[in-house]
Amino acid sequence: MQLGTRWAAGGEPPARLSPEFVAQLRAVEADLPPNEEGVARWTLTWLEGRPVAELDTGVIVTLDHAGAVVVRHDDEDEFG
Protein backbone atom coordinates (compact mmCIF):
# COMPACT_ATOMS: atom_id res chain seq x y z
CA MET A 1 0.00 0.00 0.00
CA GLN A 2 1.22 3.46 -0.87
CA LEU A 3 -0.04 6.45 1.09
CA GLY A 4 -1.51 9.21 -0.98
CA THR A 5 -3.16 12.32 0.41
CA ARG A 6 -6.23 13.81 2.09
CA TRP A 7 -8.54 16.56 0.91
CA ALA A 8 -11.96 17.96 1.83
CA ALA A 9 -15.08 16.77 0.03
CA GLY A 10 -15.82 19.30 -2.70
CA GLY A 11 -12.13 20.21 -2.95
CA GLU A 12 -9.74 19.45 -5.77
CA PRO A 13 -8.68 15.76 -5.88
CA PRO A 14 -5.13 14.76 -6.86
CA ALA A 15 -4.37 15.29 -10.55
CA ARG A 16 -3.15 11.75 -11.12
CA LEU A 17 -6.68 10.32 -10.71
CA SER A 18 -8.50 9.51 -13.95
CA PRO A 19 -11.45 11.65 -15.09
CA GLU A 20 -13.78 8.65 -14.59
CA PHE A 21 -12.56 8.19 -11.03
CA VAL A 22 -12.96 11.90 -10.24
CA ALA A 23 -16.47 11.85 -11.75
CA GLN A 24 -17.44 9.10 -9.31
CA LEU A 25 -15.96 11.04 -6.38
CA ARG A 26 -18.08 14.03 -7.43
CA ALA A 27 -21.19 11.82 -7.67
CA VAL A 28 -20.61 10.62 -4.09
CA GLU A 29 -20.08 14.20 -2.92
CA ALA A 30 -23.34 15.27 -4.62
CA ASP A 31 -25.21 12.87 -2.31
CA LEU A 32 -23.69 14.33 0.86
CA PRO A 33 -25.92 16.35 3.18
CA PRO A 34 -25.10 20.08 2.88
CA ASN A 35 -23.48 20.13 6.31
CA GLU A 36 -20.95 17.44 5.28
CA GLU A 37 -19.44 19.17 2.21
CA GLY A 38 -16.11 20.69 3.11
CA VAL A 39 -16.20 18.87 6.48
CA ALA A 40 -15.97 15.24 5.33
CA ARG A 41 -12.52 14.39 4.02
CA TRP A 42 -11.26 11.90 1.45
CA THR A 43 -8.23 9.72 2.20
CA LEU A 44 -6.45 8.42 -0.90
CA THR A 45 -4.15 5.40 -0.78
CA TRP A 46 -2.84 3.14 -3.51
CA LEU A 47 -3.24 -0.64 -3.29
CA GLU A 48 -1.56 -2.79 -5.93
CA GLY A 49 -1.25 0.32 -8.10
CA ARG A 50 -4.97 1.14 -7.91
CA PRO A 51 -6.42 4.20 -6.16
CA VAL A 52 -8.58 3.68 -3.08
CA ALA A 53 -10.40 6.82 -1.89
CA GLU A 54 -12.31 6.59 1.38
CA LEU A 55 -14.59 9.34 2.60
CA ASP A 56 -14.92 9.88 6.36
CA THR A 57 -18.57 8.80 6.00
CA GLY A 58 -17.45 5.27 5.06
CA VAL A 59 -17.92 5.46 1.28
CA ILE A 60 -15.04 3.85 -0.63
CA VAL A 61 -14.29 4.48 -4.30
CA THR A 62 -11.78 2.21 -6.00
CA LEU A 63 -11.06 0.34 -9.22
CA ASP A 64 -11.80 -3.32 -9.75
CA HIS A 65 -9.34 -5.67 -11.47
CA ALA A 66 -10.82 -4.76 -14.87
CA GLY A 67 -10.29 -1.04 -14.22
CA ALA A 68 -13.95 -0.13 -13.63
CA VAL A 69 -14.74 2.39 -10.89
CA VAL A 70 -16.52 0.75 -7.94
CA VAL A 71 -18.30 2.43 -5.02
CA ARG A 72 -19.00 0.59 -1.78
CA HIS A 73 -19.39 1.26 1.92
CA ASP A 74 -16.82 0.06 4.42
CA ASP A 75 -19.46 -2.10 6.14
CA GLU A 76 -20.06 -4.07 2.91
CA ASP A 77 -18.25 -7.34 2.36
CA GLU A 78 -15.78 -6.74 -0.47
CA PHE A 79 -15.96 -10.40 -1.48
CA GLY A 80 -19.71 -10.96 -1.02
Question: pLDDT by residue (tens digit) across 9-36?
Answer: 999 999 999 999 999 999 999 999 887 7
Burial of residue 1 (CB within 10 Å: 0-12, 13-18, 19+) is exposed
Mean pLDDT of 42-46: 95
Instruction: Report pTM.
Output: 0.85
Dihedral sign, Cα of residue 63, residue 65, residue 66, residue 67? positive
* CA 65, chain centre distance (Å): 16
Nearest to 55 by CA among 72, 43, 67, 45: 43
Per-residue pLDDT at 12:
95
